[in-house]
Structure 1
Amino acid sequence: MAKATAIAAAGEQPTTIMAPAVSLQHVNKSFGVGNTYLPVLKDISLDIRRGELLLLVGPSGCGKTTLLSVMAGILDTDDGVVDVFGTRVDRLSQSQKTRFRQQTIGFIFQQFNLIPTLTATENVAVPLIINGRPYREALERAEHYLDLVGLGNRLDHFPTQLSGGQQQRVAIARALVAEPRLVVCDEPTAALDGATGQMVMEMFRKVALSADRAIVVVTHDNRIFPYGDRIAEMLDGRIVDVHDNPDHIK
């Protein structure tokens, strides 16, 4: 108290340490039936910073997608802390997790998962409509986000009328339209050529990233490594290294 009073008297502002976007502490996750269990995540501890694009890399089967699902509250942990922007996701009920995902998390996948019978605008509007936004308002907001990702001239096109890169941009707009604070991406560039993959990553940094958001990208695609702020390496269910990316493009 005396120190705080002295700081105030001197006209200085006390330093505030910003909590991480995601904090994982000693997280374990196993799959199995009966007495047979396969540990998939083993004592994972990792902080993801606000304003950060983190790449999660490692060989197939090392637990990357499982870790992404734990962050998003899709999978329950065996034990450990999962804190996302101050909410203990590991303590939420299933219905609370569903609501939390709707309000806080955007998903982008390798398979674009667009609804073929809906236009680009309608596909992007779906999360808003699910959350109870008026239909016309949802469409207007969807059009705005499609314009942000460079598809303002493709609003009424159906997925089959779009290239792979354009479909991925629709998926990005859909993930961002509700302004989620955490965006999780599972191999978002694996099905794209190099130039299109780079364009998608540039889109993440330009449209999705802000000081109070975070993006986590699971990838095997070393072509996009320069776009990450940090790279976390996984092996056999563990985080074995986290380091700043020296090739990060500012």
Structure 2
Amino acid sequence: MSVYQGRFEGRCAIVTGGASGLGKAAAARIVAEGGKVVLWDLNADALAAAKAETGATDVVALDVSDQAAVAAAAKASEAALGKVDILICSAGITGATAPVHEYPLDSWKRVVDINLNGLFYCCREVVPLLLANGYGRIVNVASVAGKEGNPNASAYSATKAGVIGLTKSLGKELAEKGVIANALTPATFESPILAQLPKSQVDYMRSKIPMGRLGEISESAAMVCFMASEECSFTTASTFDTSGGRTTF
């Protein structure tokens, strides 16, 4: 991991899904580059380990699909950090692998609750904190599946398309207020979330990547950190790809 010394000096971030994968990797890099971070995640045990690994200021165990819990966490995180400049929404699940006509209703609802409703709650509660500073960066982690759709992953694809649409709307709302909002649209990368999928689904997604390999967490974390930094100053309501050539628009 290359580090841009002091890039996040004086900046404070909330990272959801921060106990593992992309969230943890981005958080570690922000701390290494001078920033302060509070990690949010459902897994309390993993959060404790991630706090030690990343150097996070604090952690909050919560389910992002619980709006009241998100509102309380936003207040607690602002108190722990002193202010909030950055929101990285990385929490998400894949859901079941099944065709639409056989898709389990409980899995559909859970994916929507976490991937889309939960991300909306996080943005809704944290945006006022960014506006109070007159500065902010929001990075919402979507997916190439939200642009192209993956077969047998309708809930995941639909919610990630929703994340892209929400981010485009949010970025336009905030464009003149010092707060920038963009979405990351990665192709499949090596991550604990892959354990939620059958090997056949992972193989399918790998086969769609022209580079012929899955991405690395560090590659997407590098892009997230650019998006979360002051350097990203004239792009908002947009998407950044880390897709190995898969993305066609």
Query: What is the TM-score with the length of structure 2 in the denominator?
Result: 0.28
> Which of the two has higher C-alpha Rg?
1
